[in-house]
Amino acid sequence: MMMKPNKPTPGIQPKPLHLGTHIDDLEKLYMKLPADIRDRELDLICRSAKKLIEQSDRYYLEKDEEQAYVGYMRLMNLVQTIRQNKEYTRKKQMVTKLLGTQADFNRIFTKLDLLKTSLEARYREQALRKASATPSIRVVPNNERNQATQSATTYFIGDKQAITAKELHDMMNDPRVSLLIMDCRSAKDFEESHLRYTYLVNVPEHLLVAGMTAGKINHALPSESRILWSNRMVKEHVVLMDWNTSGNPVKDTPIYVLNYILCHYDQDIEDTKIIRLDGGYESFLLYYPACCTNPSYRPPIALYAEGENIDDIEYPNISDIPMKEDSFSKPGFKPTIDRNSKVAAVSLYQARQKPLEDILVEHEQILDKSKQNALDIINTEKELQNLEQQEPSDAGLDETQESLLFEVMQLKDRQRDYEAEKARILEEEESYKEMEKEKQERGERISTEQAERLEREAYERRLLEKEREQRELEEKCQRLAREREAKLALAREQKRHLKENVPEGPKSYPDQQPAHVANTNRMPLFDRSAKPLADHNHNVRSTRDLDVVQRDFAPVYGNVGRGLTGLKNLGNTCYMNSILQCLSNTYFLNEFFHDASFKMRLNRNNKTQGKIGEEVAAVIKALWTGQYKCIASKNLRYVVGQYERQFGGIEQQDSHEFLTILMDWLHSDLQTIQMQISTSLDQLPPSEKAWIEHFKGKGSYISELFYGQIKSTVKCTRCHKESATYESFSNLSLELPQDSNICYLENCLDMYFNGEEVRGWHCPKCKSNQDAIKKLDISRLPSIMVIHFKRFYADPETAATVYRKKQTLVKFPLSDLNMTRYLARTEVNRNKRLTTFRYHLYGVSNHYGSMESGHYTAFCLNNIHQKWFKFDDYNVSSIDAADVQASAAYILFYSCLPDRPQSDVR
């Protein structure tokens, strides 16, 4: 239906006011709709709306402003009912034909704005006339006025958790009400349309994710919004609103998270009443368009509706489940060439002439880097030989030797990466050359000029010469390495004979030096000052006894910049240092531990009594003072050793195992937050119920940051019955390909999440054992995604259990890691908040060497300097972002939280 703009007939005076004395009196008239309106056919509702438009237009022309206003507002109410009808999506075209386009409704909004302004002025004028006719005015005493003010501020709220659009409108227009409104829609939506109110602040939805606190929101807001945000500390009421949430908000939606933050992580608003606007901005926009900056702006499609999951069937068609065997067979390892068409071959060749030249350049660059790396290995090996010939009188000699050994490990790992890259480039070159050869065999004219071909051939000859030089250098490196290994073996044999020939006597405890490497030819030195006050096998000492131990970081002073402090090695603690540096550069965890109020969250009733959390916080704070070149985490190591003996000794340990246990400890130390349950546990969705049961109804800041949830679906291949279980995780452990030198993170994720066949699964529907397919999906995305590569494996070809290491170079993105495709279909809505932006890498724990002889370092992105740094125990140095991807990468730390410089870390 085409709606033409109507204008009231000139010369006609507005009809007298007859429906009320205030514009709010009209609400009870336009809010009334038939009780069964939602059950009627959509066609009938639309016809009623069409008649309402015609009737309201007639009132508008006749200048009956009250009737016109009530009619148009009732129309808006009816339109909302139409949009909620289950047939609306299918019959949207019919609705538009009957009721008009968005432009037609924009004209109605304009009329409503004019009517509201006119009516408010007329009601005020009418009130003034009545007031002037009043014979006397009673003076209200101050105490009564204060009581009236107090009652006015509490009249609207009481114990309610939500208010209507009318109640909010009354509060906004009552100068006695102390009110701040927080709009948690996106910044774009807020800019397009928002309330006309002074104390209104936009808290963008992308900030409202697990792990946020009030202080971090303040830092992330624009400067002009921070003043408004700080008003929450002095206002009596804070109203939260999003687009259209009614009733209790769905867990993990922006408005839920904002309410959670204000109630749990904001110490400044203990006496402030937090309430929600029922129906959100859409409801307010419907009833009070004149109080909004752009009444014609429409809300986006609802992302968080509870009813959108339809059913719990994850995979309706079993053929839709991708299988694990296809994970590493996707295109991408080598360029694909279309040979089906002669024309396609010609165009492809011409389009890729330039890339082929680029590949040759890249090949030369890799050879140059590889050659330089080989020279570095030779020079380092020579330095080691010179040190071994010196008398071991200098106490710092062994430390230098250790450092050089680790440098050789890292250089060799880098050399393997260059070899893998070179193999990839050679494959691409061969593919293009094969294509060119086929072209020549078909007798086609080569489109490149003769000079360009000659130049390329010269380039290739230069590459061959460089490859020959590199092979010679590699042979020299291998010879030096064999000589060193032979010397080490001889030294071990001499040491063994010496031990056998020493007569038994009183036991002595010689000083030991740090030894990252498990099998070396010298007695390891150990920092005796870091030796625990009690044996690691003893029980945990009392809290009072532990508290009197003074924390000693043994710092080496030096102004190095915040976050650039190294960690001393206390005897094979490089695995621990690597993880601590990654956690230290976890911006939101760093901020949490810098806030003194975190101690209020400590749980003193668990096994570790809050001590792990305290010591980790102390280490992170020391790392960020910027006053020390390096520190020693003695107290943390001691406390950790008390609860897990393997981490208290001087043997090399696995950084992934340490991280997993440490996450559980930290969660337990901070597990004081009661989870909000709006209904009984049995009525919750299975994933939510499993989450609450896993954490026993209490969460922590660690669980909000690091923990996610996996959905495991098993589907019967006979009857297609599905069965799902849920499991929480703090990191994902991914398989690497067995026979590939290079792969991509996407392939590893596919391997983890793709389906696999299960034999003999007992199907609850078939009542018998059947073949089935098991498939993993993410049902809850964590804010911090930790990914571990399974590099160590038991060699099946050896009689005894021998562990090997996969040196596969995994290509992983430094930014824009998209996890959407791995989300469970039935859990997409809850994770929408995390899929609007991507994960970015900020930390890598590296392992160099083998299972028997290895070393750990960390690569971390410093948020102050916005640069990558390498943390190699006490040594910290800057690195290029291009060097972060390496075959030594063992654990990756990704964050989807808003990234900003830590300029305000205290």
pLDDT of residue 524: 35
Model confidence at 147, in pLDDT bands (50, 70, 90)?
Answer: very low
Residue with the two structure tokens 């609007």 = 836
Give me the helices (H) in 353-396, please.
Answer: 353-389
Q: Is the pLDDT of residue 549 over 50?
A: no
Every domain of the chain and the residues it spans: 23-127, 162-291, 557-670
Q: Is the pLDDT of residue 656 over 70?
A: yes
pLDDT of residue 412: 79
More confident residue, 426 or 329: 426
Residues 6+ apart with CB under 8 A from 211: 588, 701, 704, 705, 783, 784, 897
- In order of 409, 521, 617, the CA distances from 524 in angstroms are 19, 9, 30
Pairwise CA distance, residues 755 & 758, whole Å: 9
pLDDT of residue 714: 93
Pairwise CA distance, residues 307 & 342, whole Å: 53
Q: Is 275 helix (H, G, I), strand (E, B) or coil?
A: strand
* Closest among 503, 486, 525, 485 to 395, alpha carbons compared: 525
Task: Please state, rounded to an integer, the average pLDDT across all residues of the chain.
Answer: 78
* Closest among 265, 225, 129 to 700, alpha carbons compared: 265
Model confidence at 408, in pLDDT bands (50, 70, 90)?
Answer: confident
Pairwise CA distance, residues 406 & 385, whole Å: 15
Q: How far is CA 603 from the centre of its chain?
A: 26
- What value, to the nearest 5°, has the Cα angle with vertex 100 and ends 241 and 284? 15
Q: Are 771 and 718 in contact (CB under 8 A)?
A: yes
Mean pLDDT of 669-676: 88
Mean pLDDT of 638-665: 91
Pairwise CA distance, residues 888 & 789, whole Å: 10
Q: What percent of the chain has pLDDT over 90?
A: 29
Total residues found in the chain within this entry: 906
Pairwise CA distance, residues 603 & 613, whole Å: 9
- The DSSP secondary-structure symbol of 804 reads E
Q: Is the pLDDT of residue 215 over 90?
A: no
Residues of the chain by 3-state class (helix, strand, coil), percent to 5: 50, 15, 35
Q: What is the pLDDT of residues 486-511, one digit of tens each?
A: 666 665 566 556 555 545 444 333 33
pLDDT of residue 465: 67
Q: Is the pLDDT of residue 223 over 60?
A: yes
Pairwise CA distance, residues 906 & 904, whole Å: 6
pLDDT of residue 752: 95
Pairwise CA distance, residues 557 & 541, whole Å: 32
Pairwise CA distance, residues 252 & 382, whole Å: 58
Mean pLDDT of 740-746: 89
Residues 6+ apart with CB under 8 A from 188: none
DSSP letters spanning 233-245:
GT-SEEEEE-SS-
pLDDT of residue 345: 39
Q: Is the pLDDT of residue 276 over 50?
A: yes
Q: How far is CA 809 from the centre of its chain?
A: 24
Which neighbouring-strand residues pair with 889? Answer: 846
CATH topology of domain 557-670: Cathepsin B; Chain A (3.90.70)
Q: What is the pLDDT of residues 844-874, one digit of tens each?
A: 999 998 877 789 999 999 988 889 999 999 9
Pairwise CA distance, residues 788 & 790, whole Å: 7
Mean pLDDT of 238-263: 87
Taking the CA atoms of 457, 461, 462 and 463 in sequence, report the sign of the dihedral they define.
positive
Tokens of 397: 């000699």
- Secondary-structure class of domain 23-127 per CATH: mainly alpha
Mean pLDDT of 637-651: 89
Q: Is the pLDDT of residue 533 over 90?
A: no
Residue with the two structure tokens 């002009």 = 224
Q: Is the pLDDT of residue 435 over 80?
A: no
Q: Is 102 helix (H, G, I), strand (E, B) or coil?
A: helix
Q: Are 659 and 606 in contact (CB under 8 A)?
A: no
Choose the weakest-confidence range: 79-83, 329-333, 615-619, 626-630: 329-333
Q: Is the pLDDT of residue 548 over 50?
A: no
More confident residue, 430 or 622: 622
Please give the single-letter amino acid code of residue 330: K
Q: What percent of the chain has pLDDT over 70?
A: 75
Tokens of 159: 């114990």
Q: What is the pLDDT of residues 393-406, one digit of tens each?
A: 454 556 677 777 77
Q: Is the pLDDT of residue 619 over 80?
A: yes
Pairwise CA distance, residues 379 & 374, whole Å: 9
Q: How many other C-beta atoms can be found within 10 angstroms of the C-beta atom of residue 742?
A: 18
pLDDT of residue 337: 35
DSSP letters spanning 743-761:
EEHHHHHHHHHSBEEEEEE
Q: Is the pLDDT of residue 353 over 80?
A: no
Residues 6+ apart with CB under 8 A from 692: 675, 677, 681, 684
Q: Is 56 helix (H, G, I), strand (E, B) or coil?
A: helix
Pairwise CA distance, residues 258 & 556, whole Å: 42
Pairwise CA distance, residues 41 & 44, whole Å: 5
Q: Is the pLDDT of residue 705 over 90?
A: yes
pLDDT of residue 523: 33
Tokens of 793: 């494996």
Model confidence at 411, in pLDDT bands (50, 70, 90)?
Answer: confident
Choose the weakest-confidence range: 252-266, 712-726, 760-774: 252-266
Structurally, at CATH architecture level, domain 162-291 sits in 3-Layer(aba) Sandwich (3.40)
Model confidence at 195, in pLDDT bands (50, 70, 90)?
Answer: very high
Q: Are 791 and 806 in contact (CB under 8 A)?
A: yes
Choose the weakest-confidence range: 199-208, 340-349, 381-390, 552-561: 340-349
Model confidence at 693, in pLDDT bands (50, 70, 90)?
Answer: very high
Pairwise CA distance, residues 881 & 367, whole Å: 20
Buried b (16+ CB within 10 A) or exposed e, 429-467: bebbeebbeebeeeeeeeeeeeeeeeeeeeeeeebeebe
Q: What is the pLDDT of residues 814-829, one digit of tens each?
A: 998 988 889 888 776 6
Q: Is 503 helix (H, G, I), strand (E, B) or coil?
A: coil
- In order of 369, 466, 515, the CA distances from 415 in angstroms are 9, 15, 24
Q: How many other C-beta atoms can be found within 10 angstroms of the C-beta atom of residue 825?
A: 16
The highest-confidence range among 11-25, 43-57, 544-558, 823-837, by mean pLDDT, is 43-57
Choose the weakest-confidence range: 341-355, 381-395, 620-634, 788-802: 341-355
Q: How many other C-beta atoms can be found within 10 angstroms of the C-beta atom of residue 559?
A: 11
More confident residue, 154 or 209: 209
Whether the predicted model's global pTM rises above the 0.85 cut:
no
Model confidence at 11, in pLDDT bands (50, 70, 90)?
Answer: low
Residue with the two structure tokens 């809290």 = 543
Model confidence at 299, in pLDDT bands (50, 70, 90)?
Answer: low
* Closest among 715, 674, 726, 672 to 697, alpha carbons compared: 674
Pairwise CA distance, residues 864 & 806, whole Å: 35
φ/ψ of residue 206, rounded to 5: -70, -15
Q: What is the pLDDT of residues 55-102, one digit of tens each?
A: 899 888 888 999 998 888 888 888 878 877 778 777 888 888 888 887
Q: How many other C-beta atoms can be found within 10 angstroms of the C-beta atom of residue 605?
A: 10
* Closest among 63, 138, 190, 210 to 833, alpha carbons compared: 210
Which neighbouring-strand residues pair with 788? Answer: 733, 891
